[in-house]
C-alpha cells in the first residue's frame, strides 16, 4: 500500500464497520449469494477478491490460487487469520501489486469497481464478477428508518472497457434479531449519514423480517 494511495490515515471501512460486518456475515444470511458467486468462478484457476473485507466470501472460493485485497488494514488482518492458504494484502483496488494478465477472474462484492486496473491485471479471457444491491435490498430496514423517504439503490454498472455477459438476481428473506439489526446498520455508511432521530426509529424493534436482493453481474473485456 503506497502512501499516495491513502487519502486518509485509516482508509476504507472503519474498524467498527469491519467488525460489525464480520459478525453479521458469519451468521450466514448471505450464504446463497456466496454460493452463487463461488459457482460462477468454480472453473477459474487464479482469482482475486478485490475489496475482500474480512474474507467471508474469499474463503468460500475454490481455486488453485486465491488472493484478497482491501484498503482497510483491520479487515485484512481479520481475513488473513481465517485462511492461511489465501494471500491477503492491504492495497487499493485502483493500484494493485499484481503483474499484467494475472487473473482468470476478479470478484468484487459491494466494493469499488476499478475497471482500468481490473483490465490490466486480468487475462485476455478473464471475467469480472460484481455484486451490488437490487431494488428491494434491505427495503424493510430502510422503511423502518426512513419511512416514506426510503432511498432506492443505484442499480447500474457502467464501463466502456467491459461488457455485461450475464446478470442474475439472488433474493430471499431473513429474520433478524436486535443484535443482527444493529450489526447490519453499523456495517453500512447509513449509520454515519443518517440523522440520529431517524436511527432512533429502530430502538424498539426486537426483530424484523428483511429482504435481501443481490444483483450478480458477470463482465468481460470489450
Ligand atoms: C461494503 S464493503 C464489502 C467488503 C466485502 N466484499 C464483503 O462484502 O464483505 C467494501 C469494502 O471495500 C473496501 N474499500 C473501499 N475503498 C477501497 C479501495 N479503494 N481499495 C480497496 N478496498 C476498498 C472497504 O474497506 C470495505 O472493506
Q: Which tens digits make up the pLDDT trace of 13-58? A: 788 899 999 999 999 999 999 999 999 999 999 999 999 999 999 9
Per-residue pLDDT, 41: 98
CA-nearest residue, atom 19 of ligand 1: 92
The verdict on residue 85 lying in a domain is yes
Q: Which residues of 179-203 are buried (b: 16+ CB within 10 A; e: fewer)?
A: ebbbbbbbbbebeeebeeeeeeeee
**Could you give the count of Cα atoms lying within 13 Å of 80 in the half-sphere of its Cβ?**
12
The verdict on residue 144 lying in a domain is no
Taking the C-alpha atoms of residue 71 and residue 77, their distance in angstroms, rounded to an integer, is 11
Taking the C-alpha atoms of residue 62 and residue 60, their distance in angstroms, rounded to an integer, is 6
The verdict on residue 202 lying in a domain is no
Give per-residue pLDDT as tens, 188-217: 877 888 888 888 888 889 999 999 999 999
Ligand 1, residue 12: give the atom nearest the CA.
25
Per-residue pLDDT, 157: 85
Per-residue pLDDT, 10: 67
Average pLDDT over residues 161-175: 96
- Say yes or no to pLDDT of 218 above 80: yes
Could you please report the per-residue DSSP string of 23-53?
Answer: HHHTTTTTHHHHHHHHHHTTT-SEEEEET-T
Per-residue pLDDT, 37: 98
12 CA from centroid of ligand 1 (Å):
6
Ligand 1 pocket at CB < 6 A: 12-13, 21, 25, 51-53, 56-57, 70-72, 75, 92-94, 109-112
204 CA from centroid of ligand 1 (Å):
31
Total count of domains within the chain: 1
The verdict on residue 139 lying in a domain is no
CATH code for the domain in which residue 72 is found: 3.40.50.150
Average pLDDT over residues 177-192: 90
Domain span at 162:
3-134+153-170+214-221
- Say yes or no to pLDDT of 76 above 90: yes
| Greater pLDDT, 222 or 202 | 222
The verdict on residue 161 lying in a domain is yes
The verdict on residue 193 lying in a domain is no
| Mean pLDDT, rounded, of the chain | 92
The verdict on residue 160 lying in a domain is yes
Ligand 1, residue 25: give the atom nearest the CA.
9
Q: Say if residues 45 and 79 touch (Cβ distance below 8 Å).
A: no
Average pLDDT over residues 3-19: 75
Per-residue pLDDT, 2: 63
Percent of the chain with pLDDT over 90: 75
Under the banding of pLDDT at 50, 70 and 90, the label for residue 6 is low
- Say yes or no to pLDDT of 154 above 70: no
The verdict on residue 148 lying in a domain is no
Give per-residue pLDDT as tens, 86-111: 999 999 999 999 999 999 999 999 99
Average pLDDT over residues 59-83: 95
Ligand 1, residue 109: give the atom nearest the CA.
6
Per-residue pLDDT, 192: 83
Amino acid at each position: 500500500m503506497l502512501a499516495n494511495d491513502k487519502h486518509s490515515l485509516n482508509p476504507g471501512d472503519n474498524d467498527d464497520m469491519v467488525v460489525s460486518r464480520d459478525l453479521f456475515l458469519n451468521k450466514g444470511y448471505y450464504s446463497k449469494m456466496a454460493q452463487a458467486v463461488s459457482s460462477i468462478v468454480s472453473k477459474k484457476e487464479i482469482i482475486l477478491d478485490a475489496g475482500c473485507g474480512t474474507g467471508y466470501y474469499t474463503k468460500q472460493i475454490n481455486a488453485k490460487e486465491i488472493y484478497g485485497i482491501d484498503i482497510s488494514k483491520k479487515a485484512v488482518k481479520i481475513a488473513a487469520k481465517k485462511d492461511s492458504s489465501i494471500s491477503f494484502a492491504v492495497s487499493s483496488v485502483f493500484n494493485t501489486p499484481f503483474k499484467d494478465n494475472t487473473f482468470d477472474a476478479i470478484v468484487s462484492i459491494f466494493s469499488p469497481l476499478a475497471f482500468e486496473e481490473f483490465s490490466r491485471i486480468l487475462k485476455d479471457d478473464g471475467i469480472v464478477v460484481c455484486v451490488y444491491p437490487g431494488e428491494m435490498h434491505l427495503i424493510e430496514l430502510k422503511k423502518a428508518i426512513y419511512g416514506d423517504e426510503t432511498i432506492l439503490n443505484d442499480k447500474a454498472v457502467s464501463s466502456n472497457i467491459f461488457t455485461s455477459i450475464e446478470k442474475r438476481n439472488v433474493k430471499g428473506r431473513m429474520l433478524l434479531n436486535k443484535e443482527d439489526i444493529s450489526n447490519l446498520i453499523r456495517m453500512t455508511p447509513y449509520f454515519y449519514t443518517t440523522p440520529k432521530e431517524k436511527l432512533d426509529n429502530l430502538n424498539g424493534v426486537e426483530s424484523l423480517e428483511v429482504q435481501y436482493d443481490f444483483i450478480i453481474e458477470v463482465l468481460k473485456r470489450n
